[in-house]
Amino acid sequence: MTNLKVISEYQCFAGKVGFYSHASSTCHGEMRFAVYQPPQASQKPVPVLYFLSGLTCTEENFMVKAGAQRYAAEYGLMLVAPDTSPRNTGIAGEDDDWDFGTGAGFYVDATTEPWKAHYQMYSYIVQELPTLINANFPTQSEKQGIFGHSMGGHGALVCAMRNPHLYKSVSAFAPITAPMRCPWGEKAFSRYLGTNEEAWRSYDASELVKQLGYHSSILIDQGTADKFLTSQLLPDVFAQVCAEVKQPLNLRYQQDYDHSYYFIASFMADHIRHHAIALG
């Protein structure tokens, strides 16, 4: 494999889960990601579905906990799960907070010192990583979908709306839908992007849907027992803007579910099917 280091690989649902690292030119350091190659990939190129994880996660959580491989094997989709930030950059204080710095890249291209030298997660996800994946795995590069959880749901919505030609489908579990209006987003954006809020708009799903919209229906699942629902996630804000601009949205409130992977696993089948239909 070109430029890729294999960390470990595991047979899974007749396909293969693998963990890899590479020297990222975008983030100026080693980055890690996980790939699930469905059994179909040994015969022919397959569509690719990117999953962006939430705060504190690594490239491992999704592959271990979400139970997505079974469905990816059924529909013949490759799954790619990147890490949530650069690590071990040497930036002072990078490990101090659980909701900023390491494990909390927020899928933005930082413009402030000292973060901008490494924290270029938006460009990494949209450009460098897909190029690397397409060069090293049997993909149909024109067939990409993206989804994610919490901070990663925010990332998926932002990546998809800003690049509708690159992503044929988008969905999210409990996404941060209006980061400019919640504490997690305000903290991350002010420190990665500076205090000029104009610069924040291009990373806020509720702003982007107004400016850009998306070419197809957005699927969102949200647990009603999620402790971050009204303080951080704010799906009602996003739903209201979608209604105003007539953006098709399938926002499903799931009774009694919380913010955990037990919630994600419970509705994974529906999300994979949503993407599989769009990816043909």
C-alpha span between 151 and 106 (Å, rounded): 6
Pairing of strands 218-223, 249-254: parallel
The answer to whether 17 and 51 have CB atoms below 8 angstroms apart is no
Query: Least CB distance from residue 10 to a second copy, whole Å?
Result: 4
Interacting residue with a second copy among 1, 7, 14, 277 (CB under 8 A): 14
Point out which span in 4-12, 154-162, 201-209, 228-236 binds a second copy (CB under 8 A).
4-12
User: Which 165-194 positions form the footprint of a second copy (CB under 8 A)?
Assistant: none
By the rule CB under 8 A, 37 interacts with a second copy: no
The answer to whether 66 and 261 have CB atoms below 8 angstroms apart is yes
Interacting residue with a second copy among 12, 126, 182, 229 (CB under 8 A): 12
Q: Which is nearer to a second copy, 97 or 258 (CB)?
A: 258
The conformational region for residue 169 under phi > 0 = left, psi -120 to 50 = alpha, else beta, is beta
Query: Least CB distance from residue 44 to a second copy, whole Å?
Result: 20
By the rule CB under 8 A, 17 interacts with a second copy: yes
Nearest CA-CA partner of 177 in 190, 161, 197: 161
The conformational region for residue 75 under phi > 0 = left, psi -120 to 50 = alpha, else beta, is alpha
Catalytic one among 109, 204, 221, 226? 226
User: Which 99-138 positions form the footprint of a second copy (CB under 8 A)?
Assistant: none
C-alpha span between 258 and 90 (Å, rounded): 35
C-alpha span between 50 and 53 (Å, rounded): 10
Catalytic one among 118, 149, 154, 259? 259
22 is catalytic: no
Q: Which residues of 34-44 are buried (b: 16+ CB within 10 A; e: fewer)?
A: bbbbbbbbeee
149 is catalytic: no
User: Which 209-268 positions form the footprint of a second copy (CB under 8 A)?
Assistant: 223, 225, 254-258, 260-263, 265-266
By the rule CB under 8 A, 75 interacts with a second copy: no
Positive or negative, the CA dihedral 53, 56, 60, 66 is negative
C-alpha span between 154 and 232 (Å, rounded): 11
Catalytic one among 150, 169, 171, 206? 150
User: Which 48-67 positions form the footprint of a second copy (CB under 8 A)?
Assistant: 64-65, 67
259 is catalytic: yes
Q: Which is nearer to a second copy, 1 or 64 (CB)?
A: 64
Query: Least CB distance from residue 220 to a second copy, whole Å?
Result: 17
Alpha carbons within 13 angstroms on the beta-carbon side of residue 41 total 24
By the rule CB under 8 A, 11 interacts with a second copy: yes
By the rule CB under 8 A, 70 interacts with a second copy: yes
Active-site positions? 150, 226, 259
Residues that bind a second copy (CB under 8 A): 10-14, 17, 64-65, 67, 69-70, 223, 225, 254-258, 260-263, 265-266
